[in-house]
Structure 1
């Protein structure tokens, strides 16, 4: 029972971290696309 509780706590801690990483990657990808498009238009 304690092992199950411990794994549940670990999952609960990991979920926000994974969500933050995914959101950060999406945000960085969007910024990169904006940078590339603005760089292309400046030519």
Structure 2
């Protein structure tokens, strides 16, 4: 358990150091939304 906690702390530190750009996050979210929408449309066709 302790090892996991240490790993999470290290991971958080790393993420803080190289924060992904806002634009990249937005693009990822848009892509996910698009994927979900296309999946919903695909289900409706069936």
Asked if TM exceeds 0.5, the reply is: yes
Greater C-alpha Rg = 1
Whose helix fraction is larger, Structure 1's or Structure 2's? 1
Gapped regions of structure 1 (runs ≥ 5): 1-14
Gapped regions of structure 2 (runs ≥ 5): 1-18
Aligned residues: 28
RMSD, matched Cα = 1.7
| TM-score of the aligned structures, taking structure 2 as reference length | 0.56
